[in-house]
């Protein structure tokens, strides 16, 4: 982790929260107290920035800088509003295509998915603020810079974000090995939100219940699943193939 991705100390973190920086989350020492820490927590709530109580040892491992019990993670990626990203796609006469990620926590997978999203014409990525990979320099590097070009929409709750996408006319298609329909047979045209899940747990049941349809990637080998970034590329290519066929 690069040091310039962290802001340490009560006053510097307070100023970061008041600035235009995109702060992913705060780590606050579990036993930290006092007026400054209380003010940080209140400002974090106002700015909708999640914070997590952690032992002092975790903070000490992250930095040798005097942290005063608090560290802020600064995103390298600009966050954009989901409604605006969808509206801009419609304004260009295009069917919006959003890639929603449920529980994808590996930064390399996040970067590779963003790269596929850029290559296959997705308009943005939709990710929850918590339980997702950090959008720091490692993720940007893995994306070959795509994370700096592709809109990233962060929401408090993925289900709420998908509901907003649906209100704009997007169908929700979840990719899961539990599905009966193959992506080769599925209708992947029109405004779409494609949901991909974590490799170990897959898409959570509440998100699966929101989906308009479930699709799977047909496979012939003995291993039952793909890396989530590879699977995302396969699904997005299938979407693009259908769109090009009717263009």
pLDDT greater than 90 at residue 197 = yes
- What is the average pLDDT score of the chain? 91
More confident residue, 21 or 66: 66
Q: Model pTM?
A: 0.82
Domains of the chain in sequence order: 3-74 (3.30.1330.30), 82-246 (3.40.1280.10)
Closest CA to 229 of 123, 128, 82, 104: 104
Residues 147, 79: contact at Cβ < 8 Å?
Answer: no
Calculate what percentage of the chain has a pLDDT beyond 70.
98
- Tokens 């893995």 correspond to 142
**Banded pLDDT at 4 (limits 50, 70, 90):** low
Q: How far apart are CA 66 and CA 119, in angstroms?
A: 42
Average of per-residue pLDDT across 46-72: 92
pLDDT greater than 50 at residue 1 = no
Q: How far apart are CA 84 and CA 19, in angstroms?
A: 22
pLDDT greater than 80 at residue 243 = yes
Q: What is the pLDDT of residue 225?
A: 77
More confident residue, 230 or 23: 230
More confident residue, 208 or 141: 208
Q: What is the pLDDT of residue 201?
A: 85
Q: How far apart are CA 153 and CA 124, in angstroms?
A: 7
List, in sequence order, the alpha helices (H) in 146-190. 158-167
Q: How far apart are CA 63 and CA 73, in angstroms?
A: 12
DSSP E strand stretches across 67-169: 70-74, 97-102, 124-128, 152-155
pLDDT in tens, 71-94: 998 887 888 999 999 999 999 999
Residues in the chain: 247
What is the Cβ-side half-sphere exposure of residue 46, based on CA atoms within 13 angstroms? Answer: 9
Lowest model confidence (mean pLDDT) among 10-14, 129-133, 181-185: 129-133
pLDDT in tens, 161-187: 999 999 999 999 999 988 989 999 999
Lowest model confidence (mean pLDDT) among 16-25, 65-74, 168-177: 16-25
**Banded pLDDT at 101 (limits 50, 70, 90):** very high
Closest CA to 153 of 218, 69, 96, 93: 96
Q: What is the pLDDT of residue 247?
A: 65
């Amino acid at each position: 982790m690069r040091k310039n991705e962290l802001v340490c100390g009560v006053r510097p973190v307070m100023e970061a929260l008041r600035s235009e920086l995109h702060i992913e989350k705060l780590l606050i020492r579990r036993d930290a107290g006092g007026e400054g820490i209380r003010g940080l927590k209140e400002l974090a709530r106002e700015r909708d920035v999640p914070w997590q109580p952690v032992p002092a040892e975790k903070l000490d491992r992250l930095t040798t800088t005097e942290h005063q019990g608090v560290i802020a993670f600064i995103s390298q990626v600009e966050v954009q509003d989901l409604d605006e990203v969808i509206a801009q796609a419609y304004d260009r006469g295009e069917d919006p295509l959003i890639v929603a990620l449920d529980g994808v926590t590996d930064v390399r997978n996040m970067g590779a998915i963003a790269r596929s999203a850029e290559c296959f014409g997705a308009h943005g990525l939709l990710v929850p603020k918590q339980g997702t990979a950090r959008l720091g320099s490692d993720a940007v590097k893995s994306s070959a810079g795509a994370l700096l070009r592709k809109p990233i929409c962060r929401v408090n709750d993925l289900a709420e974000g998908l509901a907003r996408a649906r209100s704009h006319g997007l169908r929700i298609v979840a990719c899961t090995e539990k599905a009966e329909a193959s992506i080769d047979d599925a209708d992947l045209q029109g405004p779409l939100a494609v949901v991909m899940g974590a490799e170990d747990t897959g898409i959570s049941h509440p998100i699966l219940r929101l989906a308009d349809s479930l699709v799977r990637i047909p496979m012939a080998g003995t291993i039952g699943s793909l890396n989530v970034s590879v699977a995302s590329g396969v699904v997005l290519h299938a979407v693009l193939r259908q769109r090009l066929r009717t263009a």
